[in-house]
Amino acid sequence: MSQQDTIFACIDGLATTHAVVDGAFWAAERLQAPMALLHALERPEPMPPVGDYSGVIGMGAQDVLLQRLNTLDEERGQVAQEAARRMLAEAQARVDQARIPSLQVLLRHGELTDVLLEHEPQARLFVLGRQWRATAARKQRLDHRVESVIRNVRQPVMVMTAPEFAPPEGFVVAFDGSATARRAVEAVARSPLLRGMNGLLAMAGEPTPEMRQQLQDAQAQLEQAGFAVTTKIVPGLPEEALPALLQQLGNVLLVLGAYGHSRIRQLIVGSTTTALLRLCSVPVVVLR
């Protein structure tokens, strides 16, 4: 088995870490692919510079404080490395290594997106967890690291949206007739990851006759690839209708195409991909 097929579990020690490990293991076992546990140790926030206080403390005291700050920085780095090693060891203990071809444990320094881009030539799938970032009272946004990874890597990304992962019993493809959605259907048809599961092609809004035909064509394409697939059209905006539908369906996985519009359009009207990643309560596979 080539290391170019590796399933990367990107762990950070936060609430979804166990789901990330378990979801990556599920994928690695289904694909009989190597698995890697990866933690990106990002640079900590800098300590306040002593120079800011140079007008109120003497030079000798300033030198002493600089030395103490340097020592603290070293200690913070050592503590972060030890915490990362323990986190990786705990994650490793969750994996039944006898059921997958191989397991790597990787501790890397740098921003997560940069680290994953370095490993992308070896990757088949990246698995990471969604975290919340509050921007105002009662308003939350998708973790910028998740959004950055999905915008920049070319390989599929599976996002865990809850602290626990259960192997899905079916999958839903969010379909809108766009080229992005059609490519997602093609990727599902080719991949063994979802083989054997019942599928649903879900379209939100008021479709045109042309979009209905595209929906039927997508269904036929998946059926020809051996999937049992139904279709459903739900009224409303995708970011409202699809999360509600998924709640009704229970233990499923959502498949999305990534960012079908230009960056300028995303800045003006936002992105359905980002909204669904933020609002859905099931694991989400994002395909480029």
Domain boundaries, the chain: 1-162, 168-288
pLDDT bucket at 168, cuts 50 / 70 / 90 = very high
For residues 191-227, one letter each, b for 16 or more C-beta atoms within 10 angstroms of the residue's C-beta and e for the rest, the string is bebbeebebbbbbbeebeeebeebbeebbebbeeeeb
- Taking residues 227-240, report their average pLDDT: 92
Residue written as tokens 């909204």?
A: 275
What is the torsional sign of CA 117, 120, 124, 128? negative
- Beta pairing, strands 6-10 & 123-129: parallel
By three-state DSSP, how is residue 261 classified? coil
What pLDDT, on a 0 to 100 scale, did the predictor assign at position 250? 87
Full-model pTM: 0.83
The single-letter code of the amino acid at 63 is D
Q: Is the confidence at residue 70, as pLDDT, over 80?
A: no
Q: Which CATH architecture has domain 1-162?
A: 3-Layer(aba) Sandwich (3.40)
163 secondary structure, DSSP code: S
Q: How many angstroms separate the first and last alpha carbons of the chain?
A: 24
Burial of residue 86, with CB atoms counted within 10 A of its CB: 0-12 exposed, 13-18 middle, 19 or more buried: exposed
Q: Is the confidence at residue 79, as pLDDT, over 80?
A: no
For residues 91-117, one letter each, b for 16 or more C-beta atoms within 10 angstroms of the residue's C-beta and e for the rest, the string is beeebeeeebbebeeeebeeebbebbb
Q: How far apart are CA 219 and CA 234, in angstroms?
A: 16
CATH topology match: 1-162 vs 168-288:
yes
Q: How far apart are CA 256 and CA 246, in angstroms?
A: 13
Q: Do 139 and 221 meet the contact criterion of CB atoms below 8 Å apart?
A: no
The single-letter code of the amino acid at 187 is A
- Taking residues 168-194, report their average pLDDT: 92
Q: How far apart are CA 111 and CA 128, in angstroms?
A: 14
Region of residue 231 (phi > 0: left; psi between -120 and 50: alpha; otherwise: beta): beta
Mean pLDDT of the chain: 84
What pLDDT, on a 0 to 100 scale, did the predictor assign at position 61? 67
Kindly state the percentage of the chain with pLDDT values over 90: 57
Q: Is the confidence at residue 248, as pLDDT, over 60?
A: yes
By three-state DSSP, how is residue 13 classified? coil
**CATH fit for domain 168-288, picks 2.40.10.10, 3.40.190.10, 3.40.50.620, 1.10.606.20:** 3.40.50.620
Q: What is the pLDDT of residues 124-167, one digit of tens each?
A: 999 999 875 444 434 445 667 888 898 899 999 999 999 999 99
- Taking residues 41-46, report their average pLDDT: 68
Q: Is the confidence at residue 16, as pLDDT, over 50?
A: yes
15 secondary structure, DSSP code: T
